[in-house]
Amino acid sequence: MTPEEQALRERQGPGARYDSPDAPARELAWARRGTAYFARKLNELSDTGLDGPSLLPGWSRRHVIAHVGYNARALTRLLTWARTGEETPMYASPQQRDTEIGLGASLPARALRHLFAHSETHLNTEWRDLPGPAWDAEVRTAQGRLVPARETAWMRTREVWVHALDLDNGASTRDFPPDLLDELAADVLRAWQRRKEQVRLTLAPTGRDPLVLGEDGGPTVSGAMPDLVRWLIGRGARGLESDSGDVPGIPRWF
């Protein structure tokens, strides 16, 4: 047993452990449910199916799985930072991230599946062990933003749910919890606002009040909320209608 594993075991102690009352309960529930969803879609793929293309240009399904696994490890480093106060960035460099994904994608199928399973278990353990005050400790994302450690739950939520779509084997935004769909749409709008994107658009979810973006709202895009969110997060325009004819192009999410 390594010193790190021994330290983890000592923290765990005997018996059951629970999240701190200060933990972000809603986001952790989304992240854990999304992890189970991603795991189910992964388990539906045969070993040879892992070699198939994903929805992400230039990436196979193997790349998506490796990315999701190593993302859990990167978030674990942020939780270590929050717990100890010692700076441990998500990645030493963008090159480290890309190298990890490339190497992970080349693993044998069993090892690649293990990477996902082990990393998500470790991340969940770190969440459970994080003391209350540490949830508000500031850490830095890979994009350079300073955020409280509680943001890691939302960061992971996005990764597992959205990349389940990218496996391209039947995952659908129609499987997403309705409140998660609302928060994903809000997250896209926040990202556009941070980057000062000039967006003129009216979103008209079925059965709900429209949302006007920009001074005059621009073209109106209407459809069911799951289909609107799929489009907003860059995974294709299906089941949508636009009063301008074609569904317009929009800025990227990340």
Q: Higher pLDDT residue, 17 or 40?
A: 40
- Distance, CA of 165 to CA of 236 (rounded, Å): 11
How does pLDDT run across 80-105, given as a tens digit for each residue? 999 999 999 999 888 989 999 999 99
Alpha helix locations (H) across the chain? Answer: 3-12, 25-43, 61-84, 94-105, 109-129, 151-166, 178-194, 225-232
Residue 216 has pLDDT above 90, yes or no: no
* The pLDDT of residue 66: 98
pLDDT at 14 over 60: no
**DSSP per residue over 210-241, as a string?**
-EEESSS--SEEEE-HHHHHHHHTTS---S-E
d(CA 70, CA 194): 26
Q: Could you give the angle at which helices 151-166 and 178-194 cross, rounded to 10 degrees?
A: 100
Give Dmax (Cα) for the chain.
63
pTM of the model: 0.91
The yes-or-no verdict on residue 61 having pLDDT over 90 is yes
Set out the domains of the chain in order of their start, with CATH numbers: 3-171 (1.20.120.450), 178-242 (3.30.1050.20)
Q: Could you tell me if 8 and 125 are in contact, meaning their C-beta atoms sit under 8 angstroms apart?
A: yes
Q: Decide if pLDDT at 217 tops 90.
A: no
For residue 64, is pLDDT > 70?
yes
Q: Which pLDDT value is given to residue 1?
A: 67
For residue 226, pLDDT over 90 is answered with: yes
Structure tokens at 7: 């330290």
What's the mean per-residue pLDDT of the chain?
Answer: 94
pLDDT digits (tens, 9 = 90+) for 114-173: 999 999 999 999 999 999 999 999 999 998 899 999 999 999 999 999 999 999 999 999
